[in-house]
Amino acid sequence: MGMSSNWQHKLMLVLQIVVVVALMASNTAYGVGNFHNDFESTFGGHRVQISGPGNSQLALNLDEGSGSGFRSKKEYLYGRIDMQMKFVAGNSAGTVTTLYLSSEQSTGVHDEIDFEFLGNVTGQPYTIHTNVYSQGQGNREQQFHLWFDPSKNFHTYSIVWNPKLIMFLVDETPLRVFRNYENHGITFFPKNQRQRVYASLWEADDWANKVEQ
Ligand SMILES: *[C@@H]1O[C@H](CO)[C@@H](O)[C@H](O)[C@H]1NC(C)=O
């Protein structure tokens, strides 16, 4: 029911992205500006639209056929990603926008760092959902509400991942710090597997279908 009313709105996510990945091994940092060079579509076909000067902007679209998504061509072991995003406006209930890092999922023991944004009805706040997987184990969810309307302007959403901690930030404000407590005997921390950067826009009610694409 909720779904059919959503489709009367033009569901569109516009992302303008700045990715800075610091590779710990070489101590080099570089910016990624061109989506054609550094990213590839994961699903949604023509719904992934690259545009702007130097192909620096990417729009993800969601319609009754499918959502859409993309990922980095490279994998990274530790890094920081800053993504400037503008979310679906108006009635965005049922939409899920994701920014996450993940290692190869087919291994069954994959690592993942999730930063997800759940839409809401007009005028109500988006929910931020965070989670961490290590060796295929998750259940480390924490949720927050966004304190501004993320559909009005671009804001910067960041994941910092290093051997000591994982940090989720919004416009440089740390929302959550997830520490590596292996010195205290707790071994739950993604630290061995390289991960790609992923982003997607999809419809939660239809999650089972979308995830296979
Ligand atoms: C929508 O807004 C309501 C009221 O503020 C809040 O309780 C709820 O968690 C929000 N739902 C989502 C999915 O963000």
Atom of ligand 1 nearest to the CA of 145: 14
Mean pLDDT for the stretch of residues 187-201: 94
| pLDDT score for 53 | 78
Q: Which of 87, 91, 98, 124 to mutate to test the pocket of ligand 1 (most atoms within 8 A of CB)?
A: 124
| pLDDT score for 10 | 46
Render pLDDT for 88-112 as a digit per residue (tens, 0 to 9): 888 888 899 999 999 999 989 999 9
pTM reported for the whole predicted model: 0.85
Beta strand ranges found along 24-164 (DSSP E): 28-32, 39-43, 48-51, 57-61, 68-72, 79-86, 95-102, 112-118, 127-133, 142-145, 155-161
Atom of ligand 1 nearest to the CA of 121: 1
Residue nearest to atom 5 of ligand 1 (CA): 124
Mean pLDDT for the stretch of residues 159-185: 96
| pLDDT score for 20 | 55
* Residues linked to residue 143 through DSSP beta bridges, in sequence order: 129
Render pLDDT for 26-70 as a digit per residue (tens, 0 to 9): 334 455 567 888 889 999 999 998 887 778 788 898 888 889 999
Mean pLDDT for the stretch of residues 179-203: 94
Q: Are 102 and 195 spatial neighbours (Cβ–Cβ below 8 Å)?
A: yes
Strand-strand pairing, 68-72 and 12-16: unpaired
Distance (Å) from CA 121 to ligand 1 centroid: 8
Mean pLDDT for the stretch of residues 76-90: 88
| pLDDT score for 41 | 95
Instruction: Tell me if 52 CB under 6 Å of ligand 1.
Output: no
Which residues are annotated as catalytic? Answer: 112, 116
Topology of domain 5-203, CATH: Jelly Rolls (2.60.120)
Tokens at residue 124, please? 């109500």
Distance (Å) from CA 125 to ligand 1 centroid: 6
Q: Which residue has the higher pLDDT, 180 or 11?
A: 180
Domain boundaries, the chain: 5-203
Distance (Å) from CA 120 to ligand 1 centroid: 6
Burial of 21 (0-12, 13-18, 19+ CB in 10 A): buried
Mean pLDDT for the stretch of residues 112-129: 94
Mean pLDDT for the stretch of residues 126-140: 96
Distance (Å) from CA 127 to ligand 1 centroid: 7
Tokens at residue 167, please? 């940090």
**Averaged pLDDT score across all residues of the chain:** 83
Residue nearest to atom 2 of ligand 1 (CA): 124
Render pLDDT for 13-25 as a digit per residue (tens, 0 to 9): 565 556 554 433 3
* Residues linked to residue 200 through DSSP beta bridges, in sequence order: 69, 98
| pLDDT score for 103 | 97
Judged by phi (left if over 0) then psi (alpha if -120 to 50, else beta), residue 73 lies in alpha
Instruction: Tell me if 125 CB under 6 Å of ligand 1.
Output: yes
Cα 101 to Cα 123: distance, rounded to the nearest angstrom: 30
Mean pLDDT for the stretch of residues 168-173: 96
| pLDDT score for 135 | 95
How distant, in Å, are the alpha carbons of 4, 60, 168 from that of 116?
23, 15, 11
